[in-house]
A and B are shown apart, each in its own frame.
Chain A
């Protein structure tokens, strides 16, 4: 059996960055206490062996009663661990030793890692590492995972610790834990012998930045303006990249088609190129923008600004029955709603979690972004593009607020809100790229299957029964479209648009690929087809509906799994559908009435 090393530590000690450094994998890292909610594990070669490294959720206290603390205790009781690596934030060693001492009482072979060593030096904290190791009786190492300093030493120390005989399994963990009072006193004693902290600790840079960014009046406007600039940046840089990918994929399609022209029958070619290839190509052309989004988002997360945003909006969120963490999850949900829904695990109260889960699907995710980028590029001037997109983001926030305000009475809760504000950190390019590539990989793995199946289903529905005019009134798709057309006509959607929305229920990524198939054009032809089929008012109404209507199947599955409640899942579907219908209806009818 492979030997196992587990990482234990408080939130915000850079445990996940350390995990990523050691494994090269990209578990999500966050400058945000308790974000690592799933246990990430990876195999890595160490000396001559292959070991398994497990990243345990960040906890404050082995005695604690939060869900994460239960998870850690359950894990340690049930899964044999050969070496326990306790990660501490060196700059905050004054309060982090008790957890280390609690862990020592378990009697496992141990290592202590003082992470963020560079930051500790910057703050003037000096730690006598050797002395600390002598008193504790196990190795203590100073590292900086973000700067990749001390990693070689850490690997050697882990390999050395593995040479110890395998520990006996931990049964009745609670009994092994030392009584708490002793731990606090021992920690104080350790601090006296091995740690010097300056009388007035200060991080001048963070203090000065906070004066501006956390300003009572200007803090929020600055935050939203920065977000707007980031979107502008993503859009400006992403658009040419997108064109390049489209062009390359077009060339590849022509080449492939020429090669297969004599081999495949017409039906097979249609299925392959107009179905699968065009569907996938449409999605692929948006990858540059989505990649940029994830890179930027991970930088913002890493910088410490997200926790500040939570601070700024918490007072306001409290009135909606939510808290600052919900707001940050909403921002993270802009990548994908699924991890955001899973991120609600940091909340203890079931009511607060339920309300947050109901709100999160309104976060404008990458899949919807893809649809909007397309329609905006086709129907609006480049100078207006960023503003329209920003408006959609604002609307998604408004929808979330309305939802919270309407439902807060049903899920009325009070939960203590305490959140760390880490010092500002300059994002490290390598970390940004690895976080982003992990996210994109996740996005692709999750969505490719849905997209291929979705696009394939659409192509078959539009081309069967045999011999009908593609997507014509006689095809299955046409008949289905006519069935629902009446319902959607007041919103300005024809039967084809209605069908695309219907397929989008599976995954919003399918909407565009689906439209390309429905209109019977390739991905290059979609822009012209859309311009020919609808005007700006219809397109706007379509975007509004896409923004608000039912969460995709993956998100619903996540909500169901996290809440264990069908009632909440169903509420989410019905409420978002009705909201989408009402908003699109109001917009379309009002715009037409005003003569647009």
Chain B
């Protein structure tokens, strides 16, 4: 499923990062790679960005960019 399906506070395991090359590189550099766990901390107001944490790095990205990250629930 897409990352955007996660509710606030939920974690999941990244299975795939795809899209424009620049975006993918940037996400990889921030630690978003297949096999890593990502947590959605909160959504910003006005349909704004998602606040995420991967490892010890926190960052935000817009819902549109979140579409390029596919995740599955950790078993």
Q: Which residues of A contact B (CB under 8 A)?
A: 10, 60-61, 63-66, 91-92, 94-95, 98-99, 123, 125, 184, 197, 201, 203, 206, 210, 214, 216-217, 219-220, 310-316, 318-319, 324, 348, 414, 416-423
Contact = CB atoms under 8 A, between A and B. Distances in A.
Contacts of B51: 210, 214, 311, 421
Interface centre among B21, B44, B51 (most CB of A within 10 A): B44
Given A60-B25, A65-B22, A95-B31, A419 B56 contact: no
Given A60-B30, A312-B44, A416-B65, 4 more contacts: A64-B29, A318-B46, A419-B61, A420-B58
B21 to A, nearest CB: 7
Interface in B10-61: 20-23, 25-31, 33, 41-49, 51, 54-61
B25 A61 contact: yes
A311 B41 CA distance: 13
Contacts of B26: 60, 64, 416, 418
A416 B20 contact: yes
A315 B31 contact: no
B44 A315 contact: yes
A420 B57 contact: yes
Sorted nearest first, the 5 A-B pairs with minimum C-beta distance are A315-B48, A315-B46, A60-B29, A95-B31, A421-B58
A220 B45 contact: yes
Contacts of A210: 41-42, 51
Contacts of B2: none
A319 B46 contact: yes
Contacts of A91: 56
Contacts of B64: 414, 416
Given A314-B48, A417-B65, A61 B29 contact: yes
Nearest to B53: A201
Contacts of B48: 311-316, 318
Interface centre among B22, B42, B44, B56 (most CB of A within 10 A): B56
Contacts of B56: 91-92, 94, 123, 125, 197, 201, 203
Contacts of A197: 55-56
How many residues of B sit at the interface, in one of the four size bands?
20 to 34
Q: Is the interface of B mostly helix, strand, loop or mixed?
A: mixed
A495 B36 CA distance: 68
Contacts of A314: 44, 48-49, 60, 62
Interface centre among B21, B43, B60, B62 (most CB of A within 10 A): B60
25 contacts: A10-B29, A60-B30, A61-B25, A61-B29, A65-B22, A66-B22, A95-B30, A95-B31, A123-B56, A201-B55, A201-B56, A210-B41, A214-B44, A220-B45, A310-B60, A314-B44, A318-B46, A318-B47, A318-B62, A324-B60, A416-B22, A416-B23, A416-B62, A419-B59, A421-B51
B59 A421 contact: yes
A418 B57 contact: no
A206 B65 CA distance: 25
B45 to A, nearest CB: 5
A99 B26 CA distance: 12
Contacts of B49: 311, 314-315, 324, 417
A89 B33 CA distance: 19
B72 to A, nearest CB: 20
Contacts of A416: 20, 22-23, 26, 61-62, 64-65
A95 B54 contact: yes
Contacts of A219: 45
Contacts of B20: 416
A330 B4 CA distance: 30
Nearest to A33: B59
Interface centre among A125, A219, A310, A312 (most CB of B within 10 A): A312
A318 B26 CA distance: 20
Contact of A421 (B21, B28, B60): B60
Contact of A94 (B55, B59, B62, B65): B55
Given A60-B25, A214-B51, A420 B46 contact: no
A327 to B, nearest CB: 12
A200 to B, nearest CB: 10
Contact of B55 (A92, A98, A312, A423): A92
Nearest to A91: B56
Nearest to B43: A216
A581 B20 CA distance: 44
A313 B60 CA distance: 12
A316 B49 CA distance: 10
Contacts of B58: 206, 420-423
Contact of B62 (A313, A417, A421, A422): A417
B1 to A, nearest CB: 21
Nearest to A316: B46
Contacts of B55: 92, 94-95, 197, 201
A278 B58 CA distance: 51
Nearest to B58: A421
A418 B44 contact: no
B22 A418 contact: no
Contacts of B25: 60-61, 63-65
Nearest to A310: B60
Contacts of A315: 44-49
Given A10-B29, A201-B55, A418 B60 contact: yes
Given A65-B21, A91-B56, A420 B30 contact: yes
Interface centre among A65, A206, A312, A314 (most CB of B within 10 A): A314
Contact of B27 (A201, A418, A420, A421): A418
Contacts of A65: 21-22, 25
Contacts of A216: 42-45
Contacts of B21: 65
B69 to A, nearest CB: 11
A550 B15 CA distance: 51
Contacts of A214: 42, 44, 51
A418 B61 contact: yes
